[in-house]
Amino acid sequence: MGNRNKTDIEIDEDIKKNTTKCKKDFKCIRDNNYELCKVIESVRDNVLFIECLEMQPCSYKTVFGYSSYICSCPTRKEIYRRYKF
């Protein structure tokens, strides 16, 4: 993410409202010290294959295969679409 502050990230309110299962209280856009799961591959900016940095449960993380994960979080997808990280 470089030197960008999380407070610089802009997410449409409708997308935030659609992120109904977030149990982390949107740390991804509020907490400058919170590290996002790393996107390792994207399919049309809509399907995000991720590498999780923490092993806490997440309502939007789905196991794919033996060791891969897919992120379905609307807010995380928008961060990737807009900022490519």
Q: What percent of the chain lies above the pLDDT cut of 90?
A: 60
> Which of 23, 27, 25 lies closest to 36, judged by CA?
27
**What integer pLDDT is reported at residue 39 of this predicted model?**
95
**What integer pLDDT is reported at residue 4 of this predicted model?**
61
| 3-state secondary structure at position 31 | coil
Give the Å distances, CA to CA, from 10 to 46, 56, 67, 72: 18, 25, 31, 19
| Mean pLDDT calculated for residue range 34-50 | 92
Q: Taking the model in full, what pTM does it have?
A: 0.87
| 3-state secondary structure at position 63 | strand
Say yes or no to pLDDT of 1 above 90. no
For residues 20-36, one letter each, b for 16 or more C-beta atoms within 10 angstroms of the residue's C-beta and e for the rest, the string is eebeeeeebbeeeeeeb
Mean pLDDT of the chain: 89
| Mean pLDDT calculated for residue range 4-27 | 89
Give the Å distances, CA to CA, from 27 to 38, 65, 76: 15, 28, 11
